[in-house]
Chains A and B, each alone.
Chain A
């Protein structure tokens, strides 16, 4: 093929179109990535566009210093843009997740890609200069340049970003840049000294980008895994909450609406402390009620008592009880407790269910999420405990998860007082659960609670001696004044908000 033939000219002009679309793609990818990771899209887009244009200006200016070997330089610049721009998205992702200094890397990448892209067009013009009158040249090149940019600006939001994702989009356009380089290499093969060296570079770049495309998903996961620290085993969004189960080494954790519910490493401490001091104090207990606690871990502990005939578990979320009844990773944790013929799962609102039922129980476990809002606060009100009282057999015992007496001391004593106001004898106690810290419980019974002198076999935490220690409150957790939590004040929600706010600030 002869230099100057119309087909060569068209080919070069077409590559202008490709180059232009690649250039804009990198700019948009950087902008979108920054707004995705940093938020505030208007700021991110405008600073990135600004930096990019500035860098292109530098590139154009630098182009005057390229005097010899125009075509070889052009090819090398294309390769550099392809590699750098192509890998910009996955690389920035990884940097954000693993290395920090993300902003610095971002603007550095934008700056360098911008400089290189700024060099491209002046060089192409100079290559084509011999072919066209200057006037036509400028008009043709710039028209295609604009058209390429326009194409991408339309494709990017409609097709590329939503369907390919940012990483694959940038890699794909990097590949296009490299293909332009390869094509130029082939077109000008006669005029180029040191071809082999350039060809080697081309092939290496092509291979790298292809590999990148294949591995794009893996790269993204690598970054996301790092962002969420632990491996996410399962997520479910139910009408009531977002359930997330994570694993880090052998530790499985359950989060409900981002609040840690248990860590498999130490949940036995929590659930043994929740169940045994109360249940062992009701010899021969037959009917047990669990309110909340859809994870079945309290049920697992209750099943240690052969006298128990029937356990009714009332939990709002059917998805939650279904998961903990059937998911193999989770049933290992509760020893298939929810599939026990003794366990009866009811998916209902606990308050409503208690209102509509008349059954009584020998032992009642009240294990609700902390009173973080006015809705949950109702489950800690005197009206609620009066209802619990109606469902408790004469010699029965109830136990209530009572938040942390250390971090939320007034909340803890507020709940204890509120339970007492419903006509109960109350016995507050606390246990250390590493995942939570110091945690509190309150026993409620009609007669004073008799401390059990023995517990079921095989417990890892609860013994008569540890329970005796649980009953002791050091001065920093000891009783303080608190009002009764009533529905018309919901004072507990205020206490709780204030106290945990202070914890977070420390």
Chain B
């Protein structure tokens, strides 16, 4: 080696060393932030399965009992109250009502644990419109074609962006690096969905309506239910990769299933059912709050406070001659209470009914066995600062990653009016749909916090390399039975139809009954059950469920 070579080597080594040191400096992995798995429902689930509850030590009489304080149960209570009926309780196993629409709160902001937005309600979603008017979200005539919504609750711009090819794109459709034929297919798909949206059945009903009950039943439309959404695309000659990603994403995000596991009827429904208008807003804008639909839960809770009975598990339900017996276990006092009711509204998930409800008809038990549930994982990450923004579209409310098995994240502080925000909370969503539900659920429950935390931070560090160092806390909620899966054949299959036939004294009211889970369906099922209860009790009311004189 001569002097020149030596110097050259040294120089190269210095540069490489510098680069390495820089990388070290920047690539040093900070330790995991503190965090926990929240929620009690899993241990409670175990208890329910083994039925380890003490016998009741007191008896009360309550004319109407609502089991489950999710959106369905709370909406049922809201309707009863509006009709001037106050003799009811809402039993909720968790310490807080809200179910899948629960939310959390820390020093930075409120944030969602599940449901985080509500599209503008359709003409058929009368009860939702009335509810929103009741809470001042909808101003003026609730049944207007183009209602006015409080602009503070309409999702602020920028709404959504997509991280693909190392760049943030405006909206959920990649704009850079997409070929002409992909764009053409995308346009064709949009046209096709537009046609479905305008389509009416033989009876004049919308082909795809929200609530699903208001949809036309023409056989050629229902035939779509026997197809998967993926096959639907292929049958229409749509094979573009980004289009398939897009439709698959929509199914995973809304139904917790991949598009090849989703009924094509349900897949089309996602794109063709939301036709509601709003004054001064685009029809695909949505209503949202920092805590997501948890804001609506808070309003409902304020109204229903005296009726709420949290930390109360309904573990036995039995039809007696003159009453229905509901036994609940109260975790705090570790004792059971027996309640005797004239009517019960079952607003807890359907799969729990056979365990609790002894006299449930065998046909119904069999039908309920047809219901499959998608497991979900939701994480809330508290951040001491916003990650550095790199190339492309600015931080939006919904931020989606193209190459990820998760669903991206929502920014809880986005909907706040304050202009300067130092800290924030990201809510990260993941529907576990790559394994059969039972297996995925086991994986969800058996994977320790540490492993999930690593996965989540890795997922988010791709667009945000500096994210990990900013996270001050990472909490998880595992939704083992988050939502019913609208798999092919199920949505318009016999099992669901059988369960839709009303029973006399135990009224089913969970969103599960609709075959897919959204706020409007939960609200509709709850209000419908409440109206049936009111009818049975002979109490007059104005219906929120009748649009075409049919339900």
Which A residues lie at the B interface, using CB under 8 A?
Answer: 24, 27-28, 31, 41-42, 45-46, 49, 52-53, 56-57, 121, 142, 145-146, 149-150, 153, 156-157, 239-240, 316, 349-352, 355, 373-376, 378-379, 381-383, 484, 486-490, 493
Q: How far is the CA of A489 from the CA of B282 in the complex (A)?
A: 9
CB of B280 within 8 A of CB of A486, answer yes
15 A-B residue pairs with Cβ-Cβ distance under 8 Å, sorted by A, are A28-B14, A49-B7, A52-B7, A53-B8, A56-B3, A316-B420, A349-B418, A351-B418, A373-B394, A374-B156, A374-B158, A375-B420, A381-B151, A484-B280, A488-B156
Q: Which residues of B contact A149 (CB under 8 A)?
A: 6-7, 10
Nearest B residue to A141, CB-CB: B3
> Separation in Å of the A381 CB from the closest CB of chain B?
8
- Select which of B6, B12, B417 is within 8 A of A355 by beta carbon: B417
> Separation in Å of the B376 CB from the closest CB of chain A?
28
> Separation in Å of the B344 CB from the closest CB of chain A?
42
Contact with A along B1-39 (1 / 0, CB 8 A): 001101110111111011100000000000000000000
> Separation in Å of the A491 CB from the closest CB of chain B?
8
CB of B419 within 8 A of CB of A350, answer yes
CB of B15 within 8 A of CB of A24, answer no
- Select which of A46, A56, A355 is within 8 A of B4 by beta carbon: A56
Contacts beyond the supplied A31-B11, A149-B7, A153-B10: 6 A-B pairs with Cβ under 8 Å = A28-B14, A49-B12, A149-B10, A486-B280, A488-B154, A490-B156
Nearest B residue to A353, CB-CB: B418
Q: Which residues of B contact A373 (CB under 8 A)?
A: 394
> Separation in Å of the A267 CB from the closest CB of chain B?
24
CB of B15 within 8 A of CB of A383, answer no
Q: Which residues of B contact A24 (CB under 8 A)?
A: 7, 10
Does B285 belong to the interface (CB within 8 Å)? Answer: yes
Q: Which residues of B contact A488 (CB under 8 A)?
A: 151, 154-157, 159, 281-282, 285
> Separation in Å of the A490 CB from the closest CB of chain B?
4
- A interface majority secondary structure: helix
Q: How far is the CA of A53 from the CA of B8 in the complex (A)?
A: 8
CB of A153 within 8 A of CB of B14, answer yes
Nearest A residue to B285, CB-CB: A488
CB of A383 within 8 A of CB of B151, answer yes
Q: Which residues of B contact A49 (CB under 8 A)?
A: 7-8, 11-12
Question: How many pairs, one residue from A and one from B, have CB atoms within 8 Å of each other in the complex?
Answer: 100
> Separation in Å of the B285 CB from the closest CB of chain A?
5
CB of A27 within 8 A of CB of B11, answer yes
> Separation in Å of the B295 CB from the closest CB of chain A?
16
CB of B6 within 8 A of CB of A41, answer no
Q: How far is the CA of A295 from the CA of B273 in the complex (A)?
A: 53
Does B358 belong to the interface (CB within 8 Å)? Answer: no
Q: Which residues of B contact A57 (CB under 8 A)?
A: 4
Q: Which residues of B contact A381 (CB under 8 A)?
A: 151
Q: Which residues of A contact B18 (CB under 8 A)?
A: 41, 157
CB of A351 within 8 A of CB of B151, answer no
Q: How far is the CA of A222 from the CA of B281 in the complex (A)?
A: 57
Does B61 belong to the interface (CB within 8 Å)? Answer: no
Q: Which residues of B contact A351 (CB under 8 A)?
A: 417-419
Q: Which residues of B contact A45 (CB under 8 A)?
A: 11, 14-15
CB of A352 within 8 A of CB of B10, answer no
Q: Which residues of B contact A350 (CB under 8 A)?
A: 419
Does B450 belong to the interface (CB within 8 Å)? Answer: no
Chain B interface size, as a band, is 20 to 34
> Separation in Å of the B299 CB from the closest CB of chain A?
18
Contact with A along B454-467 (1 / 0, CB 8 A): 00000000000000
Which B residues lie at the A interface, using CB under 8 A?
Answer: 3-4, 6-8, 10-15, 17-19, 151-152, 154-159, 280-282, 285, 394, 417-422
- Select which of A46, A239, A316, A489 is within 8 A of B15 by beta carbon: A46
Nearest A residue to B278, CB-CB: A488
> Separation in Å of the B386 CB from the closest CB of chain A?
10
> Separation in Å of the B181 CB from the closest CB of chain A?
29
Knowing A146-B6, A157-B18, the reply to whether A379 touches B154 (Cβ < 8 A) is no
Nearest B residue to A142, CB-CB: B3
Nearest B residue to A378, CB-CB: B419
Residue among B13, B17, B151, B157 with most chain A CB within 10 A: B157
CB of B15 within 8 A of CB of A486, answer no
Residue among B6, B19, B152, B156 with most chain A CB within 10 A: B156
Q: A-B pairs with the 3 shortest C-beta distances?
A: A490-B157, A49-B11, A351-B417
Q: Which residues of B contact A376 (CB under 8 A)?
A: 419
CB of A157 within 8 A of CB of B14, answer yes
Q: Which residues of B contact A484 (CB under 8 A)?
A: 280
Q: Which residues of A contact B6 (CB under 8 A)?
A: 146, 149
> Separation in Å of the A461 CB from the closest CB of chain B?
30
Residue among B3, B10, B151, B154 with most chain A CB within 10 A: B3
CB of B420 within 8 A of CB of A378, answer no
Residue among A28, A57, A149, A487 with most chain B CB within 10 A: A487
Q: Which residues of A contact B7 (CB under 8 A)?
A: 24, 27, 49, 52-53, 56, 149
Q: How far is the CA of A146 from the CA of B13 in the complex (A)?
A: 14
Q: How far is the CA of A142 from the CA of B5 in the complex (A)?
A: 12
Q: Which residues of B contact A146 (CB under 8 A)?
A: 3, 6
Knowing A24-B7, A53-B4, the reply to whether A487 touches B420 (Cβ < 8 A) is no
Q: Which residues of A contact B420 (CB under 8 A)?
A: 240, 316, 349, 375
> Separation in Å of the A33 CB from the closest CB of chain B?
15
Nearest A residue to B282, CB-CB: A488
Q: How far is the CA of A323 from the CA of B32 in the complex (A)?
A: 40
- Select which of A121, A316, A379 is within 8 A of B3 by beta carbon: A121
Q: How far is the CA of A90 from the CA of B8 in the complex (A)?
A: 25
CB of B10 within 8 A of CB of A378, answer no
Q: How far is the CA of A24 from the CA of B11 in the complex (A)?
A: 9
Q: How far is the CA of A413 from the CA of B419 in the complex (A)?
A: 23
Residue among B10, B18, B154, B281 with most chain A CB within 10 A: B10
> Separation in Å of the A20 CB from the closest CB of chain B?
9
CB of A352 within 8 A of CB of B157, answer no
Q: Which residues of B contact A374 (CB under 8 A)?
A: 156-158, 394
Q: Which residues of B contact A349 (CB under 8 A)?
A: 418-420
> Separation in Å of the B389 CB from the closest CB of chain A?
10
Q: How far is the CA of A142 from the CA of B15 in the complex (A)?
A: 23
Nearest A residue to B154, CB-CB: A488
Nearest B residue to A381, CB-CB: B151
Q: How far is the CA of A52 from the CA of B18 in the complex (A)?
A: 20
Q: Which residues of A contact B394 (CB under 8 A)?
A: 373-374
Q: Which residues of A contact B159 (CB under 8 A)?
A: 488
Nearest B residue to A386, CB-CB: B151
Nearest A residue to B419, CB-CB: A375
CB of B10 within 8 A of CB of A379, answer no
Q: How far is the CA of A57 from the CA of B420 in the complex (A)?
A: 59
- Select which of B15, B282, B417, B422 is within 8 A of A378 by beta carbon: B417
Q: How far is the CA of A156 from the CA of B13 in the complex (A)?
A: 13
CB of A486 within 8 A of CB of B151, answer yes
Q: Which residues of A contact B280 (CB under 8 A)?
A: 484, 486
> Separation in Å of the B415 CB from the closest CB of chain A?
9
> Separation in Å of the B359 CB from the closest CB of chain A?
51
Q: How far is the CA of A489 from the CA of B281 in the complex (A)?
A: 8
